[in-house]
Amino acid sequence: MPTALPAALRPQLELVLGTSVTAATRLAGGDINDVFRLDTARGPVVLKASRRGLPGLFAAEAAGLELLRAATPLAVPTVISHGDAPGGWAYVLLEFLPAAPDTPAAQEALGRGLAALHRAPAPGFGGTAPNYFGRLAQANGAQPSAADFIWHERLAPQVALAAAHLTPADHARFEALRGRLPALIPPEPPAPVHGDLWHGNVLSTARGPALIDPAAAYSHREVDLALLHLFGTMPEHALAAYHEAYPLTPGWRERTALWNLYPLLAHLNMFGASYLGRVRAALDHALTRG
């Protein structure tokens, strides 16, 4: 990964911004993109750039950010521009959101903001353009129910990609889960969801809690709550504020394993067999306890 701003990008970025880039500082980012803070005469901006050749990656991110912005009072960075640059680079320029302390009040605002997001109207399960979960293509076809959406647009494609890791017994257990999904998923209206809501995609900023890097869709709201518990726990104040604003259906904690099968399968497909044990444990939990 480059530690300095790639030279091939600078002319395109300065043209789009209408000013020179005076400094570039690498920021912590995911495993997919190179992320920089760019200092300019118009103020700081964030650059995300990639040479992975993922078609429409940043157009999909821009669309996901706009979907969130329309549905939640939480801060969502404005998209300044996205496109292609010489050398095989794709990029997106985003509003820079200054950091601020993560306080109990900020966590409560996060909980209320997520509840507002999930209460926003959605036309159905799926029905938005394809996008990405990490570097993996993510389909968002319209489906008649949450169970159909989770199986056809989420689990089945990842199970197919993971064929080299899964045994016939694993495949049989996934088929068993497919048949049980309608009974396991509580009936709720479709909701706009962030779709990749692990802790790294929630920022504490001067404008309050902010959401970044979405894999947005119209899905079941418990998807987001489960992801916040995949690599940690949802802050207590955030969870309490969420539940007060939009009470969760009883048993939601037991269903986190079911929802997190998708991101765990995606991690298995992106990063290898070290995630296989967690996939099998989540599958066992989903089959035995819902």
Catalytic sites, residue numbers: 196
Residue 200, both tokens = 């790294």
Q: Within 13 Å of residue 248, how many CA atoms lie on the same side as its CB? A: 23
Residue 83, both tokens = 């496109």
SS3 (DSSP) at 217: strand
Distances 170 to 107, 158, 254, 270 between C-alpha atoms, Å: 39, 13, 21, 19
Q: Which residues have CB under 8 Å from 139's CB, separation 6+?
A: 130, 153, 157
Q: What is the Cα 247 distance to its own chain's centre?
A: 22
Query: Distance between CA 142 and CA 156 in Å, rounded?
Result: 15
Instruction: Name the phi and psi angles at 23, rounded to 5.
Output: -160, 150
Tokens 């801060």, residue located: 75
Query: Distance between CA 21 and CA 160 in Å, rounded?
Result: 44
